[in-house]
Amino acid sequence: MRLCTFSNAAVASHVGLALAGERVLDVTASFAGDARFATLLALIEHQDETLPAIRELARGYGQPGRAAQVHPLRQIRLEIPYRPPQIRCFSAYDQHLKNAFQQVLRHGVSPVAGFLMRALGMGKVPKGFYDTPVYYKGVRLNLSGHDSVVRRPDPGAMLDYEAELGVIVGKPGKNIGRADAMSHVFGYVIFNDFSERAQLMKEMRVRPSAGPAKGKDFDSSNSLGAWVVTADEIDDPHRLEVTVRVNGEVRGKGSTAWMTHRIDRIVSYASQNETLHGGELLATGCVPNCAGIEQWRFLDDGDRVEVEISGLGVLPNLITGH
């Protein structure tokens, strides 16, 4: 199933279900008065009851009295699908790091410093990266969504995109084993992790580093695609094609097949010694070739960025000045 949150002239922030023919069924109105269907987060938290009920609803949406609950896609406004109670941003692809480090050594430091760093073996993926799927906690309040404006932070000279697959936790769990991890996945969503590279490089050079901060944390920096696609709709989340376009120009293509740390490992690691709750978002990191830093090309005011992931749709955002 493909789920969203939408508004139109008659309703505000209702859960919707995608139907054939570019139509959306109003799930919230169909279960009026039932809090489990009032928001997409509540629906996720009660998935054992809500998903079977929605499937049954979808089978009978053509019955008399249901027509008013179906809306053409062109007549609704797609909103941020839900507000995650927690966001963990993982680094799951070693090739993205290799590409980015290469560009930083070429453009981000002086030629002499770059030569010395290469001679000392710096700029390589740390060995520890392969041992542990590391992450930082994203700010869950800094959200944007489908067709949202993303305002450049001040000064924001090197604003960048990162195309990522977002994994949404469904069934809660603690100390989840890898063999059982995928059963805790509710579904998937496109995630664009906007980043200000100049600030980020400044922060990451501090030793000891506490990890990313204002290079990642600014209003609207975490952008979510409109559609949450349930896990049963995706045959293999490790075989999804990813494309980034800026103003219609293809800037990058990649695949989730290139994950160094796969989703089962990410879910298992995140659950060590703490309970994962329904709705938590595990962003799996930038797909190789799908960030501007890997080409040393950044965003300008007026740019329209589109992230497309096969099976999940397209997430467009417009960049404006701060």
Looking at every residue in the chain, the average pLDDT score rounds to 93
Share of the chain above pLDDT 90, in %: 85
Is 119's pLDDT higher than 80?
no
User: Distance between CA atoms of 149 and 139, rounded to whole angstroms?
Assistant: 18
Determine the pLDDT at residue 205. Answer: 81
Torsion of CA 138, 320, 226, 84, to 10 degrees: 20
User: Distance between CA atoms of 5 and 1, rounded to whole angstroms?
Assistant: 13
Mean pLDDT for the stretch of residues 239-264 = 98
Is 118's pLDDT higher than 60?
no
Note the pLDDT tens digit of each residue in 134-166: 999 999 999 999 999 999 999 888 999 999 999
Determine the pLDDT at residue 117. Answer: 47
Mean pLDDT for the stretch of residues 259-282 = 98
Closest by Cα among 11, 35, 41, 36 to 24: 11
Is 63's pLDDT higher than 80?
no
Determine the pLDDT at residue 67. Answer: 63
Closest by Cα among 31, 6, 32, 9 to 19: 6
Note the pLDDT tens digit of each residue in 277-321: 999 999 999 999 999 999 999 999 999 999 999 999 999 999 999
Note the pLDDT tens digit of each residue in 188-214: 999 999 999 999 988 888 777 778 999
| Contacts of 166 by beta carbon, 8 Å cutoff, 6+ apart | 188, 189, 190, 191, 224, 225, 281, 282, 283, 284
Is 265's pLDDT higher than 90?
yes
Angle at 172 between CA 167 and CA 173, to 5 degrees: 100
Mean pLDDT for the stretch of residues 166-176 = 98
Determine the pLDDT at residue 115. Answer: 42
Determine the pLDDT at residue 112. Answer: 45
Domain boundaries, the chain: 2-78, 87-320
Closest by Cα among 159, 144, 149, 133 to 264: 133
CATH number at 87-320? 3.90.850.10
Determine the pLDDT at residue 322. Answer: 75
Is 114's pLDDT higher than 60?
no
Determine the pLDDT at residue 4. Answer: 98
Angle at 262 between CA 259 and CA 267, to 5 degrees: 140
Beta pairing class for 159-160 and 143-144: unpaired
The region of weakest confidence among 65-74, 131-140, 144-153, 225-234 is 65-74
Is 110's pLDDT higher than 70?
no
Given a contact cutoff of 8 angstroms between Cβ atoms, the answer to whether 233 and 2 are in contact is: yes
Is 111's pLDDT higher than 80?
no
Q: How far is CA 54 from the centre of its chain?
A: 24
